[in-house]
């Protein structure tokens, strides 16, 4: 076959689900609730798309799922429909703004443990179809150390950990790192300080956090960045439009866009990146324990 023909066929096969693009599975974590995790997940996802990546956002904050509220959408199906009614992932992936695809969390069950053998394997089988479909799979999880969140973080390729500068939020975020590190020392963390008064405060809080983790846990975590406390975020939440779309030039929007660009161009993937298949393999091992 001619080289150009081979090239064309390769390109064509790249545009259909199931080619060999390895998805990077990133979970969003926090200690305390209400620190801005869901807003970050949604707007980071949209900014990654703007930076040229194909992104699937999954709401695994089971019971408290609210990404759809932040987008003003009323999803037709959610995770539980997929599992209970054996719907294909392609039927339940909702379309958000700007080619965002997301799996709504909904409520109805609280634990992956509540799924029977058959439901769980169906769920994992459907999730596995995302292999090669998305460049990045972002997972919003419940706050703190719920069993569910722990299991997700421990199975991910990397964790973006959010805290505000408040001591309570920092202490809880530290407990999350400590706990996860004790179970999987190789897990990679990227730290984001949300709602900072100014960049200097962000850097100070981040460096102190990083050195505490270094001294007490002998672990290296990466400082990803700091997002300003920005009144436009709340305004966007009230409008039910993601803040990067409602107020694209606000300070929170321009910061998160820069973070996404850096994530795409400058952040190497962790060595043990297993993609969605690795995520499912690790999660299965944890659930079977």
* Residue ranges in contact with ligand ADP by CB under 6 A: 30, 33-39, 143, 194-195, 227, 229-230, 233-234, 237, 252
Q: Which residues contact 157 (CB under 8 A, 6 or more apart)?
A: 24, 25, 26, 188, 269, 270, 272, 273, 274, 275, 278, 279
**111-143: burial string, b at 16+ Cβ within 10 Å, e else:** ebeebeeebbebbbebbbebbbbbbbbbbbbbb
- 67 or 130: CB nearest ligand ADP: 67
The reply to whether 244 sits near Mg ion by the rule CB under 5 A is no
Q: Which residues contact 260 (CB under 8 A, 6 or more apart)?
A: 44, 47, 48, 50, 51
- 36 or 278: CB nearest ligand ADP: 36
Per-residue binding letters, 84-123, with Mg ion (x by CB under 5 A):
----------------------------------------
- 155 or 194: CB nearest ligand ADP: 194
- Residues 13-42 binding Mg ion (CB under 5 A) are 37-38
The reply to whether 190 sits near Mg ion by the rule CB under 5 A is no
Collapsing DSSP to helix, strand or coil, 268 comes out as: coil
How far apart are alpha carbons 127 and 150 in whole angstroms? 18
CB of 66 to Mg ion, least distance (A): 6
Residue nearest to ligand ADP (CB): 36
Q: How far from the centroid of its chain's Cα atoms is residue 135's Cα?
A: 12
Token pair listed for 104: 């709504």
- 12 or 234: CB nearest ligand ADP: 234
CB of 142 to Mg ion, least distance (A): 8
CB of 30 to ligand ADP, least distance (A): 5
Token pair listed for 288: 């079977």
- The residue ranges that bind Mg ion (CB under 5 A) are 37-38
């Amino acid at each position: 076959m001619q080289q150009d023909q081979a090239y064309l066929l390769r390109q064509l096969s790249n545009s259909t689900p199931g080619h060999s693009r390895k998805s990077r599975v990133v979970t969003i974590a926090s200690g305390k609730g209400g620190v801005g995790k869901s807003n970050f997940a949604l707007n980071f996802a949209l900014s990654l798309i703007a930076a040229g990546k194909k992104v699937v956002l999954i709401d695994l904050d089971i019971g408290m799922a609210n990404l759809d509220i932040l987008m003003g959408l009323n999803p037709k199906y959610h995770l539980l429909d997929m599992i209970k009614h054996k719907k294909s992932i392609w039927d339940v992936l909702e379309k958000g703004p700007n080619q965002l695809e997301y799996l709504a969390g909904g409520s109805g069950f609280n634990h992956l443990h509540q799924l029977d053998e058959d439901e769980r394997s169906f769920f994992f089988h459907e999730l596995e179809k995302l292999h090669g479909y998305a460049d990045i799979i972002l997972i919003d999880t419940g706050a703190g150390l719920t069993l569910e969140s722990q299991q997700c973080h421990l199975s991910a390729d990397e964790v973006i950990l959010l805290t505000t500068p408040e001591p309570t939020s920092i202490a809880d975020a530290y407990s999350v790192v400590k706990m996860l590190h004790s179970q999987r020392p190789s897990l990679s963390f990227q730290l984001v300080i949300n709602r900072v008064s100014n960049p200097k405060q962000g850097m100070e809080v981040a460096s102190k956090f990083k050195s505490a983790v270094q001294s007490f846990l002998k672990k290296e975590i990466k400082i990803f960045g700091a997002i300003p406390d920005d009144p436009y975020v709340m305004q966007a939440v009230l409008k039910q439009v993601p803040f990067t779309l409602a107020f694209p030039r606000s300070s929170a929007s321009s910061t998160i866009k820069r973070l996404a660009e850096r994530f795409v161009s400058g952040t190497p993937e962790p060595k043990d990146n297993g993609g969605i298949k690795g995520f499912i393999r690790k999660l299965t091992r944890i659930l079977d324990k």
